[in-house]
């Protein structure tokens, strides 16, 4: 394991990207970051810029307007990085599948600019914070 | 004013003139679904006067506007709540011209309607005449001009 992967797994700092979510997943992410769930025991910390982040927590279906911004956030994230698609919409567009504004899901948007991106999926509407912790731990142990 | 008086005033505007801009048939029909739910049906050119009457004379509270692409026309439903009796009044307006749908904007006397009219302009392509700021509100910046996504003839 090279030191970049080691440091990513040791303490994945996360940046939260909303790509057209209804705010439900976002609230659960805020829940996840509270002391009750204490994700800092895994080194997970919310940062204010993708340039400081090791992982992107992407919520929402990936709208036409948001897709370019998600790609830009991904471009600015130092590699290697992990993209977490949080929620049913981000994983597979969910109920908004045939909406006129939808270009998602998130994996499609990210793979347009980086076919080898590491993407982890946390389904649910919204996923519980426990599910997100489980997803983060699984993704990091798979690296 | 109680429900009875409200009913009376609403039926007055169907038959009797009010204001200066009045036409003979301002409303086509008054549909009374229940004590708390009244529909006022009118054509697009009368909608401004009916809305102004409901908002300024009756004092009903403006809730929102719904836009529908019906088979032969566009429908705009202006929803009002008359809070003293809890009655919901809906002005159902028919825009018959499908090629260039247009209606008088109610924003000049009712600023709360500005954004919903902009939204309907975005997604149904209805032109609100005399709207002070009819810019794109919710569609993406790169959305093609002249494509109205919630019209029935648009395919994804």
Q: Is residue B126 part of a domain?
A: no
Instruction: Indicate which CATH number applies to the domain containing A14.
Output: 3.40.50.12280
Phi, psi for residue B136 in degrees, rounded to 5: -65, 135
pLDDT at B24 over 60: no
Which residues constitute the domain of residue B34? 3-16+23-101
| Interface membership of B156 toward A (CB under 8 Å) | yes
Q: What is the ipTM of this complex?
A: 0.72
The region, left, alpha or beta by phi > 0 then psi within -120 to 50, assigned to residue A12 is beta
Do B101 and B95 contact (CB within 8 A), yes or no?
yes
CA-nearest residue to A67 within chain B is: B140
B107 lies in some domain: no
Higher-pLDDT residue of B1, B43: B43
Which pLDDT tens digit goes with each residue over A18-31? 998 999 999 999 99
Is B156 within a domain?
A: no
Q: Copy the structure tokens of residue B73.
A: 């026309």
Top residue of B125, B139, B140, B155 to mutate, by most chain A CBs within 10 Å, is B140
Q: Residues B98-103: contacts with CB within 8 Å, 24+ apart?
A: B98/B72, B98/B73, B98/B74, B100/B127, B101/B74, B101/B125, B101/B126, B101/B127, B102/B44, B102/B126, B102/B127, B102/B128, B102/B129, B103/B44, B103/B47, B103/B48, B103/B76, B103/B127, B103/B128, B103/B129
Q: Is B119 part of a structural domain of the chain?
A: no
Domain count, chain B: 1
Pair B113, B66: CB distance under 8 Å = no
**Residue of chain A whose alpha carbon sits nearest to that of B150:** A100
Q: What is the CATH number of the domain that holds B36?
A: 3.30.460.80
Q: What is the pLDDT of residue B25?
A: 62
> Does A65 reach chain B within 8 Å, measured CB to CB?
yes
Domain count, chain A: 1
CA-based nearest residue in chain B for residue A65: B140
Q: Encode pLDDT of B84-105 as tens digits.
A: 888 899 999 999 988 889 999 9
Domain range holding A62?
A: 3-142
The answer to whether B149 contacts A64, with C-beta atoms less than 8 Å apart, is no
- Over the stretch B47-67, which tens digit does the pLDDT of each residue have? 888 898 889 888 899 999 999
Please give the model's pTM, rounded to 2 decimal places: 0.80
pLDDT, mean of residues A3-17: 89
CB-CB under 8 Å, B141 with A100 = no
Residue B12 within a domain: yes
Is B143 in the A-facing interface, judged by CB distances under 8 Å? yes
Q: How far is CA B46 from CA B5, B91, B141, in A?
A: 23, 10, 34
User: Is residue B155 in some structural domain?
Assistant: no
Q: What is the structure's pLDDT at A104?
A: 76
Residue A16 has pLDDT above 80, yes or no: yes
Closest partner residue to B141 among A65, A98, A100, by Cβ?
A65
- B141: in domain: no
Q: What are phi and psi of A89, to 5 degrees?
A: -65, -45
């Amino acid at each position: 394991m090279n030191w970049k992967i080691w440091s990513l797994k040791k303490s994945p700092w996360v940046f939260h990207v909303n790509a057209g979510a209804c705010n439900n997943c976002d609230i659960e992410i805020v829940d996840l970051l509270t002391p009750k769930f204490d994700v800092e025991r895994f080194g997970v910390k919310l940062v204010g810029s993708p340039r400081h982040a090791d992982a992107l927590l992407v919520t929402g279906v990936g709208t036409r307007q948001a897709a370019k911004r998600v790609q830009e956030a991904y471009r600015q994230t130092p590699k290697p990085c992990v993209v977490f698609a949080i929620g049913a919409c981000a994983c597979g567009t969910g109920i908004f599948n045939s909406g006129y504004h939808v270009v998602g899901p998130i994996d499609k948007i990210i793979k347009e600019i980086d076919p080898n991106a590491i993407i982890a999926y946390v389904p649910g509407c919204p996923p519980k914070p426990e599910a997100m912790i489980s997803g983060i731990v699984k993704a990091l142990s798979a690296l | 004013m109680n429900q009875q008086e409200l009913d009376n005033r609403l039926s007055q505007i169907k038959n009797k003139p009010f204001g200066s801009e009045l036409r003979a048939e301002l409303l086509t029909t008054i549909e009374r679904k229940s004590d708390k739910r009244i529909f006022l049906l009118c054509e697009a050119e009368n909608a401004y006067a009916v809305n102004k009457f409901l908002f300024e004379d009756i004092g009903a509270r403006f809730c929102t506007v719904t836009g529908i692409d019906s088979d032969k026309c566009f429908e705009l439903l202006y929803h009002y709540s008359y809070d003293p009796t809890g009655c919901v009044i809906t002005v159902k307006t028919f825009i018959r011209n499908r090629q260039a749908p247009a209606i008088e904007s109610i924003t000049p006397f009712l600023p709360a309607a500005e954004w919903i009219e902009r939204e309907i302009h975005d997604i149904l392509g209805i032109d609100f005449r005399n709207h002070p700021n009819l810019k794109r509100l919710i569609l993406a910046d790169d959305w093609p001009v002249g494509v109205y996504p919630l019209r029935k003839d648009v395919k994804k």
